[in-house]
């Protein structure tokens, strides 16, 4: 039984978080790294981050939250989708929904204002194995076209099972 529980805890970390390639977009990821999020019941909790960006060069480490150097150069046509998964539960009560229409809008960001603000989705991953946060940044107030681009990028996110 202990082996089964250990295997279940390790399974999502066999394939780190990533975005599948998308023409016109650039991607990056951290792989599995020690987690900066918490609290966690795990002795050495892990996290994995990934990003996909359009019309901006990504300038931050994949784990930077928020990616302030990149946001400082975000043009009005720029879109960034940034995601993190980590071991442990925060306030999540439901599975993650990759539906941009369900995202909460916030003014953004600490030290680096972003014209389009930040949209956030959060929940738990498949089988409750980890917590997921997704942040979408727009270089200007989102239009129908830029929201469609962000939705398309969200569909390229590969959450570990």
DSSP labels, the chain = -HHHHHHHHHGGGGS--EE---TTEEEEEEEEEE--S---SSSS-EEEEEEEEESS---S-TT-SS-HHHHTT--TT-EEEEEEEESS-SS--SB----GGGPEEE---TTS--TT-EEEEEEE-GGG-SEEEEEEEESSSPPHHHHHHHHHHHTTEE---
pLDDT at 127: 83
* Interval 76-108: pLDDT, tens: 999 999 999 998 766 657 999 999 999 999 988
Q: Is the pLDDT of residue 121 over 70?
A: yes
Q: What pTM was estimated for this model as a whole?
A: 0.89
- Residue 2: pLDDT band (50, 70, 90) is very low
């Amino acid at each position: 039984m202990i082996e089964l529980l250990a295997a279940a805890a390790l399974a999502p970390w066999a394939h780190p978080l990533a975005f599948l390639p998308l023409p016109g977009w650039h991607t990056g990821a951290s792989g599995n790294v020690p987690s900066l999020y918490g609290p966690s019941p795990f002795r050495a909790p892990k996290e994995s981050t990934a990003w996909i960006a359009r019309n901006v060069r990504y300038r931050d480490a994949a784990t930077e939250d928020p990616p302030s150097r990149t946001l400082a150069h975000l043009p009005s046509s720029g879109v960034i989708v940034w995601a993190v998964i980590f071991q442990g539960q925060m306030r999540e009560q439901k599975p993650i929904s990759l539906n941009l229409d369900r995202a909460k809008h916030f003014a953004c960001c600490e030290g680096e204002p972003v014209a389009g603000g930040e949209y956030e989705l959060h929940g738990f991953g498949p089988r409750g194995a980890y917590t997921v946060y997704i942040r979408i940044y727009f270089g200007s107030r989102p239009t129908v076209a830029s929201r469609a681009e962000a939705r398309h990028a969200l569909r390229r996110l590969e959450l570990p099972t």
